[in-house]
């Protein structure tokens, strides 16, 4: 897919105030650790995740999505009547029906002619929504759209801890399928895309490619972030990287870039081992990547775009940078997008994730 008139205009995000360290989780897993004689610090060593954040129990995803989308819309400076699409793309939703996008649309006061719906594509839901909105803009069907999602991972993590402590049949080998559930965190992010005539930034989305390897669809599955998740993490890592390599080759051809011409990357945040293997296999210097895994964990569909938003806030992007968004999710699905960057409006709510982060404000 090639784009000639689509701009990636602004971001808005919301992070929870509550921080839960991996050491805290291991403390709660003391019965399991004692029974299986597991060493403390094992979870952080395996995943690279020091802490994650959680919204309060019972938080409705739509409440937080409204906040994030409101910030992105205000940061864009685009009048609401010009928005022709709203996509809610997170795994977490208020209900199966109606679409969570309905309540978000109402809370934002967007026009009745705005197309609204939910997208479900595991950790690539927000990227999928971005591609769909970009396609509508490129075709001239709409002038601006907003993609938003909120992942609430508290219940999944707490349910996993309860299961691991209570199931006396678990072994050191069988608990591996539950490790991925303990990496989950919470976050919310929104992205505004618009046609070039509305843009104040000139941040051009230039291409997108997709690739799937659905033979591997059963390596990770759950009924939602609030329920138990089973993941063959090691095999998913290997097969995900293999699918990512094939997607990346197509991405380079469609974007018209060579690997050394990429200035910055933002990836889905899974774990340090996956990130290391991916960059080694792609032949990319990990120094061009910006990561939030250590402090946010795996925030599902929000992980890649909120990492980009935080990287923008820290001043990682400069005019004319070539930016690659590298998404690999369960299924296995891959989506990779190319962006030519110019300037950076981001609106946020939360304390800084790292000491050097500064909080952006809406224009």
**Given 92, 102, 114, 123, which residue is catalytic?**
123
**Given 34, 97, 258, 356, which residue is catalytic?**
97
Task: Could you list the beta-strand ranges (E) of 4-123.
Answer: 6-14, 18-21, 51-54, 83-88, 115-118
d(CA 239, CA 223): 22
C-beta atoms surrounding 187 within 10 Å: 37
Taken in order 133, 307, 149, 210, the sign of the CA dihedral is positive
Angle at the Cα of 260 from the Cα atoms of 327 and 344, rounded to 5 degrees: 60
User: What is the chain's length?
Assistant: 363
3-state SS assignment for residue 70? helix
Instruction: Verify whether residue 7 is a known catalytic residue.
Output: no
Could you tell me the CA-to-CA distances from 253 to 124, 131, 134, 298, 325 in Å, in that order? 22, 18, 20, 29, 15
3-state SS assignment for residue 284? coil
Instruction: Verify whether residue 194 is a known catalytic residue.
Output: no
> Which residues are catalytic, by number?
97, 123
């Amino acid at each position: 897919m090639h784009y000639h008139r689509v701009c990636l205009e602004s971001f808005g995000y919301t992070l929870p105030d509550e921080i839960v360290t991996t050491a805290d989780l291991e403390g709660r897993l003391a019965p399991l650790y004692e029974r299986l004689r597991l060493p403390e610090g094992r979870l952080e060593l395996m995943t690279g995740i020091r802490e994650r954040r959680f919204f309060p129990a019972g938080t409705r995803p739509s409440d937080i999505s409204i906040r994030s989308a409101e910030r992105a819309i205000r940061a864009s400076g685009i009048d609401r009547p010009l928005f022709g699409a709203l996509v809610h793309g997170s795994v977490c939703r208020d209900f199966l029906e109606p679409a969570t996008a309905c309540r978000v649309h109402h809370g934002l006061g967007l026009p009745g002619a705005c197309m609204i719906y939910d997208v479900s594509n595991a950790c690539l839901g927000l990227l999928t929504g971005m591609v769909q909105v970009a396609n509508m803009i490129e075709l001239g069907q709409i002038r601006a759209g907003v993609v938003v999602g909120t992942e609430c991972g508290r219940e999944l993590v707490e349910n996993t801890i309860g299961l691991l402590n209570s199931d006396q049949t678990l072994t050191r080998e069988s608990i591996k399928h539950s490790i991925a559930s303990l990496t989950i965190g919470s976050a919310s992010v929104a992205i505004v895309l618009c046609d070039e005539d509305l843009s104040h930034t000139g941040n051009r989305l230039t291409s997108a490619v997709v690739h799937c390897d659905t033979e591997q669809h059963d390596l990770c599955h759950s009924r939602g972030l609030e329920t138990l998740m089973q993941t063959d993490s090691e095999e998913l890592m290997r097969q995900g990287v293999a699918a990512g390599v094939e997607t990346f080759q197509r991405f380079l051809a469609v974007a018209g870039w060579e690997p050394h011409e990429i200035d910055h990357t933002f990836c889905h945040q899974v774990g340090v081992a996956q990130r290391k293997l991916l960059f080694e296999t792609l032949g990319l210097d990990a120094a061009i990547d910006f990561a939030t895994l250590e402090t946010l964990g795996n925030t599902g569909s929000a992980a890649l775009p909120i990492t980009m938003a935080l990287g923008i806030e820290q001043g990682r992007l400069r005019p004319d940078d070539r930016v690659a968004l590298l998404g690999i999710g369960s299924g296995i699905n891959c989506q990779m997008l190319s962006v030519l960057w110019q300037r950076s409006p981001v609106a946020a709510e939360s304390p800084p994730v790292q000491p050097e982060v500064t909080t952006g404000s809406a224009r």
